[in-house]
Structure 1
Amino acid sequence: MALLRTVDRALDQPWAMIVTGPGACAGPGDLDALTGFIPAPVPGTAAGALRAAGRWSDAAPTPLHGSDVWYRTRIEGRGREILRFEGLATLCEVWLDGRRVLASRSMFLAHEVAVDLDGTHDLALAFRSLAQDLARPHTRGRWRPQLATPGSLRHARTTLLGFMPGWCPGVDAVGPYRPITRRGEGGRPTAIDLRASVADGTGILTARLTFPDAPGPLTLRCDGRETVLAETAPGLFEGRLDLPGVALWWPHTHGEPRLHAVALEAGDETFDLGRVGFRTITMLRTFAEGLSLAVNGVPVFCRGACWTPADLVGLAGDRAAYAPLLALAVEAGMNMLRVGGTMLYEAQPFHDLCDELGILVWQDLMLANFDYPVDDPAFRTALAAEIAQLLDRHQSSPSLCILGGGSEVEQQAAMLGFPEPVWRAAAVEAMLREAAGARRPDLVVVPNSPSGGDLPFSTDAGVTHYYGVGAYCRPFEDARRAEVRFASECLAFANVPEPASLRESGLTDPRDPAWAGGVPRDRGADWDFEGVRDHYVGVLYGVDPERLRRDDPERYLTLGRAAVAEVMETTFAEWRRTGSVTAGGLVWLWRDLAPGAGWGVIDVAGRPKSAWYALKRAFRPVQAVLSDEGLNGLHAHLRNETARPLDATLSLTFTNTAGKVAAKAERAVSLGPREAVTLSSAALLGRFFDATAAYRFGPAAHALAHLRLTDRDGALLAESFHFPAGRDATPRETGLSAALAEGRDGVVLRVAAERHALAVHVTLDGEGRPSDNWFHLAPGGERSLALTGTGGRPSGTVRAVNGSETVRF
């Protein structure tokens, strides 16, 4: 049920922590003989406390699951109070004055304990050894996944983070990682059920709550309107507030994410019930045909990434930890984040910020790869409570849109050859649908990720984990040939961080044996994701990556950054073209969990990588992309996802690398709200021109096609490039230049090139970043880049992958 955040108070007094041998202390009375306690932030983890005390190494994380970890503090008060524990990782006993008042076996369940206080009391938390528990005899599953070890994890309700060698550091999640709060009993509404829906343009807010001895009539207020709740049973109040014409909530790419405050007036008291958003989520086709969402009746191409925790060590869950990362997601044009089954449920501020920022949330259950014992009554009961608490916590969150049954459970079994009756996760799906129907009927339920086809990982049905372009090293054409309906994971590469992050981590030379430690690989595979990246370096630029790594490691990394950007931008251009069957793509992975060339499009320090800049271009709400349609020429796909009409100028220019124009067209275009238009190169030029060099009537007349969409003032809205003969990265003079200038909102960097410049990249000497990076310039092209976070007068260098110049500014 919804919580009154204004009433609950944090137990923010000092806590102390100590790590002991398993079973060394039977109860808190045994702690008095021990020394070595350290201060421990709560909420927080034991690893976080060790880090704050200077007793932690990121390079060699301290194992904690083999030990017991004790926390203790003192609380003062009088009368009956409710202690609420939002998250205890993982096997935890709560002791008050030497008496055990709670035993929890799930990291994912919240608990409330009523206590009678009379002065000062000792509160202790004992986190028992998970390793010992996992070593007990357990029933074996029908399959054992490669993802995580040991196999007995299938019985534990804990995160798989720390248990996945190959891509996740071995950081053990132990401790009170979510808030512990206290509140007085009585004098407030409880069991609050608050729901927001929309019907025929009218917002509908329904409320159901208990409030024994309510001090007068209860009035529900929202959007400047109100209704009095009826007492339908002693202490039970219900009501409905209709809000005709209420402003709807939209993902930020399609409109404004409007939220409305809700309050309950009871006599002289007013209770803050939080904020709600009014929106509808509907499916545009059956799940078998492929997941496709509409928000408020408008089709939405969902794009973003699979989320990773803001801090793997401390598992921080406050606004300060989430805000900068989610701001980067918005800036990149992401309108969906998936919290996958290998991670953990994020804290309330994550969802609050997604509500505020207009980011749709796909929320998986924390189930991944294992054959979970859903036929065990105790496991099933705990999972049902977990689902109920999850939906109750976010009952009025408009950003929550998809509830998933977990990650790769069906895929794991199917890939091991089991028949459909075995791999189909029917029991969990039934639990999800029942819970969602009772608590959040507005949500779309996805049985598992991936799922939906003849095999759960079929690309042309349901949702898929698409790594054709990516891990399986397929050509770019596969992104269309696979007929991807919705990629809930895609495009994993060992993405190279920018130079500043490499210097900080000490990983600057890819020939250093330590470099491989930061490169992800699937456990048991004889290849890694650096090899995947290298494959596309060779395909795109016609070089031998291994030789380049040996002879010129700096250029090897440069081409690696450029290749990843090119692959991501090209793939999403295919998926966002008019006529594409693809309705969404979520990149694996949002942020690195450790230093090095990890899967993240953001590195472990929170700095964008080349992939982030490419996605920022690929995800623009106002977009223009080119697609190669062979003998039908190039097609220009224009898209306006916003609620505003757009008048713009479209130009399509065909040149050689020096800028000699072979053909050119320009026209005014008008796009209505949510409108998409496709124009062929023949229609734009008004004549035949071999735009794709498909007819082979002799040497191609051009090396570059450049599509450019500008607004009335000539400002760039979107652009796209096509290379009929491929991308020539041979260094030569490009006439590259760069200079600082004063812009409307501060200093900008103006970058220009006389000839075509491939993958232009800016490197700042200090902190900060440009608004765009790893972009192409057409011959005679110019870009003005905002510089953020630089402070003072910035300096740095500009280079192009095919340029011989290094330009300082």
Structure 2
Amino acid sequence: MITYLDADIRPLEQGWTMLLCEPGTFEGPDSINRALARLNAPVPGTVAQALFEAGLFDPAYPTPLHGKEAWYFRPLLGEAPGPAVLRLEGLATIADVYFNGALILTCNSMFEAHDVAVELTGKDELAICFRALAPHLEKRGPRAKWRPQMMSSQGLRLIRTTALGYMPGWCPDIHALGPYRPISLIRAQQYALSDLHIHADLDEDGTGVLNVSFTLNTPVDNATLSCAGHSTALIAQTNGHHSARLKLGGITPWWPATHGKPALHGVTVVLDGKTYALGLTGFRRIRLDRGHDGKDFALIVNGIKIFCRGAVWTNADITRLPDTAEDYAPWLALAANSGMNMIRLGGTMTYESADFFKLCDQLGLMVWQDFTFANFDYPISDDDFKAHVQCEAEQLLSASQGSPSLAVLCGGSEVFQQAAMLGLKEEIWQSTLFTSLLKDISAVLRPDVPYIDNTPMGGAMPFAPNEGVSHYYGVGAYERPLEDARRANLRFAAECLAFAQVPQQTTLDQHLPVPPVHDPRWKARVPRDRQASWDFEDTRDHYLGLLYEFDPNRLRREHPARYLHLSRAVTGEVLEESFSEWRRAGSSCNGALIWTFQDLMPGAGWGLIDSTRLPKPVWYAARRAFLPVHVSMTDEGTNGLGVHLHNDGPQSKSLMLDLACLRDGKTAVVSAQRTMTLEPHASVTLAATTLFGAFFDTTYAYRFGPAAHSVTVATLSDADTGEIVSQAFHFPQGRRTAMYAASLTSTLEQDDTGWFLTLNTDQLAQSVHIAVETGRPEDDFFHLAPGQPRRIRLFTEGQKPEGEVLMAGSDQRFRF
């Protein structure tokens, strides 16, 4: 796309009306009585959004829209006569654009933007017809070598549109239709840049390297490139092409926020004395380390191996498909606040806008970007299809160029896995779409970003977790024991740990006030694989039984409140246990991304955050597991208890480690304390017996008589302030043995920064839940150790908070 400098760019957001009809009802815009198009339509927006705002569409019970035709109208009365450019940044999906009744554009891809030159008269009209997608989905194309069952239409492989809305059991059937990206009128002024390329990298010696090139529409006498106080001349070549290479010694690099500061620097060009901003960039060096045997998968950023943790993004709103910073910011702020350093944009979703990457740049969130290809055998031999793929890939990478947050490019999701699981040989499922076309485009436009053909891939089968990238569900859908998190020898999980995550009760009360679990309205929101005899609630129940030794079916019938409490707690426990294995020094794992970041509808979906943007209990567990300064413990059997310490940040940390084994959840039978300094970017493992200075059966592996304790507590505190930084718990006899009806005390207080609730207990309290009537706590569903008060911030809208505190071991409720 052309970058217009000094241009008058006016978004066409207001004044649109819409008419929904059956396919072929009208031959063209001239045959439509404008009085029929009475529905106000937001642009950018979707047909579903317009109908919802008019009270004609229920996202909970969506009406199919892929069989409808939608006409959008926008008068351009009063516009100053003259030439202009009509920019359409995204039309879903098959669309004809008319200007004054004449067809000026036919769109065949949801993922392409278009510029069309028009001549304004001041009495013009714009009309767009979004054709029904269903007839196109029913067309036959080249014979597919395999047919994935997760999609409701095999025709999706032939059309460049999102799979959202076509995955039963994964997401609601809300079909993308309409102008979901901005439409603007551009009146060009003096300068316009085409073929703009911005490439920022970091040399091993810490020197930033900025390469910028473009073609200028008009000659200039002087052109200069500037960044971070450094400047160099842009060299003019033939046909208006300009380029420059700028070296910036000692530049402050960009880091993922877990490991440093995500520093950004402005890039400007000066053309004949006038300065124009090209945006912000960051300097970082990302390399992919495959290990000495070629089987590993680790990201090395600025020379440091990064343990990547985060989740897979779905969408900010499946009804609207928004693309603005205002829509993204609340979600991404929660990702950054939870200690994530990576977000994956998966192949089953849709592309996000440049605003998404800009926010991730600022927040220090790395982005793993799949191209939107998933599961299908795509017709890459078709020249027209290939041309659309090339256009969408080039536009995507051009829009995000210079963005330091883009860390991995991936050809697509589960294409290799799908075919391999059906028993097909590698030569059948390997495709030049991934091995050459997308790879070559990525190498040209983002040479600073590693590219992989598909996810998962590597190993004896592409889905084997012990080589390359995997989608790991050993712990999870395949109901393996927690020890499988280590036994699988996982290298990198681009997705993992999918469960039906129960939201907070306030969300259920407001948006899904039905009996939990077996009500059909509840079950409709529970994710499942199509045609499977189980769903992800069954998976959650399996681990509830495993960790708490309750029969989940009986518990649900006899004690539904406790069942829900443990259902909210158990997935967080599984998450923390798994990441304790994966983050420890010596682990084969270099990163894991949870499936998924957010729900698309209220209910027990996969998301860490519900569709109202309220964090679920499991989000708090992720926040604890992802802390840059962190302590965890793992059961090493007869080797005792391993205590793992991490300092991901760039500064050394002076810390106090306390380790105590408690009898009956209250009395220390053995304890130790050590002051230590953790160096930057360091991970350390200590044996508990080393800290104690003598043998003690911390894991109850030797079983010389009855167990002396029910829980071990590791507390990592700031050595100067005494503030608890991180805490971990180990249950040698299981969680149920350590389930106590503790007596809690609470103190509510306010200071200049807000409200705080201080909790204390005389005995271990498991999975303490702070139910705030308005707002949310800073931490939730955490274990509370005796004699170690927790001061928890309460996020409220100014008023004095009220609520109650609950825990797993008792039916007591403590009001505050």
Distance 1:799 1:13, change over 3 A: closer
SS in 1 for 2:50: helix
Shift, 1:124, TM fit:
0.8
Other-structure match for 1:51: 52
Tell me how far 1:630 sits from its aligned partner: 1.0
In the other structure, the counterpart of 1:376 is 382
Does 1:251 find its partner at 2:256? yes
| Alpha-carbon distance, 1:744 to partner | 6.0
Distance in 2, matches of 1:50 and 1:69, equals 11
Task: Report the 3-state secondary structure (helix = DSSP H, G, I; strand = E; otherwise coil) of the residue aligned with 1:697.
Answer: coil
Query: In the aligned structure 1, how far is the partner of 2:4 from the partner of 2:648?
Result: 37
Distance apart, 1:310 and its partner CA = 0.4
Alignment of 1:96-111 (within 5 A): 96-111=99-114
Q: Are residue 700 (structure 1) and residue 707 (structure 2) matched?
A: yes
Q: Is the 8 A contact 2:631 2:645 kept in 1?
A: yes
**CA 792–633 in structure 1, closer or farther in 2 if over 3 Å, else same:** same
For residue 624 of structure 2, what is the aligned residue in structure 1?
617
Deviation string for 1:460-503 (max 9, x for gaps)? 01111101101111100000000110000100000000000000
Q: Does 1:755 align with 2:763?
A: yes
Deviations 1:650-672 (A, max 9, x none): 11111112411111110111011
User: Is 1:331 aligned with 2:331?
Assistant: no
Q: Return structure 1 stretches of 4+ with deviation > 6 angstroms.
A: none
Task: Give the alignment's TM-score, normalised by structure 2.
Answer: 0.97
Paired position in structure 1 for 2:193: 190
- For 1:643 and 1:263, the matched residues in 2 are separated by 30
**Offset of residue 790 of structure 1:** 4.1
Tell me what 2:772 maps to: 764
- Counterparts of residues 33-44 of structure 1 (less than 5 Å): 35-44=36-45
Q: Which amino acid aligns with 1:727?
A: R
Amino acid at match of 2:331: L
Instruction: Name the residue aligned to 1:19.
Output: 20
What CA deviation, in whole Å up to 9, does each residue of 1:294-320 have, x standing for no partner?
A: 111111100000001101001111111
Cα 1:702–1:5 shift into 2, 3 Å: farther
Partner of 2:229: 224
Counterpart in the other structure of 1:74 = 75
The answer for the alignment partner of 1:416 in structure 2 is 422
Q: Which moved more, 1:69-78 or 1:792-801?
A: 69-78
CA distance in 2, matches of 1:106, 1:453: 35
Contact 2:289 2:296 in 1 (8 A): no
Question: What's the offset of the Cα at 1:6?
Answer: 6.9
* Structure 1 residue 186: Cα displacement: 5.2
Contact 1:171 1:313 in 2 (8 A): yes
In the TM superposition, residue 732 of structure 1 has moved relative to its aligned partner by 4.6
User: Are the aligned partners of 1:750 and 1:784 in contact in 2 as well (CA < 8 Å)?
Assistant: yes
Residue 731 of structure 1, CA deviation: 6.4
Do 2:6 and 2:191's aligned partners in 1 also have CA atoms closer than 8 Å?
no
CA contact (8 A) 1:193 1:209 kept: yes
Residue aligned with 1:497, SS = coil
Q: What amino acid is the match of 2:134?
A: A
Two-structure CA RMSD over aligned residues (Å): 1.6
Q: For residue 595 of structure 1, report the CA deviation from its aligned partner.
A: 1.6
Give 1:2 deviation, angstroms. Answer: 7.4
- Match for 2:348 among 329, 342, 346? 342
Identity %: 46
Mapped contact 1:761–1:800 kept (Cα < 8 A) = yes
| Aligned pairs for 1:35-434 within 5 A | 35-75=36-76, 76-185=79-188, 187-191=190-194, 192-199=196-203, 200-286=205-291, 288-434=294-440
Offset of residue 396 of structure 1: 0.7
1:327 counterpart SS class: helix
The answer for the alignment partner of 1:646 in structure 2 is 653
Aligned residues: 808
Give the counterpart letter for 1:54 in structure 2: G
Structure 2 residues not aligned, in runs of 5+: none
Deviation at 1:507, TM superposition (A): 3.5
Letter of the structure 1 residue corresponding to residue 425 of structure 2: P
Task: Tell me, in whole angstroms, the C-alpha distance in 2 between the residues paired with 1:63 and 1:30.
Answer: 26
Deviates more, 1:721-730 or 1:491-500: 721-730
Question: Residues 44 and 11 (structure 1 numbering): CA distance in 2 closer, same or farther, change over 3 Å?
Answer: same
* TM-score, normalised relative to structure 1: 0.98
Structure 1: distance between partners of 2:104 and 2:725: 61
- 1:520 matches 2:527: yes
Pairing 1:733–2:741 present: yes
CA contact (8 A) 1:2 1:395 kept: no
Specify the code of the residue in structure 1 equivalent to 2:500: A
Kept after mapping to 1: 8 A contact 2:664/2:738: no
Other-structure match for 1:663: 670
Deviation at 1:31, TM superposition (A): 1.8
Match of 2:808 in 1: 801
Q: CA deviation at 1:348?
A: 1.7
Whole-angstrom CA distance in 1 between matches of 2:519 and 2:738: 26
Per the TM alignment, residue 399 of structure 1 is displaced from its structure 2 partner at its CA by 0.3
Distance 2:150 2:50 in 1: 28
Give the residue type in structure 1 aligned to 2:524: G
SS in structure 2 of the partner of residue 806 of structure 1: strand
Change (3 A) 1:427 1:532: same
2:402 partner letter: S
Secondary structure at the counterpart of residue 706 of structure 1:
strand
| Contact 1:288-1:452 at 8 Å conserved across structures | no
Preserved contact between residue 734 and residue 804 of structure 1 (Cα < 8 Å): no
Residue identity in the other structure for 1:672: E
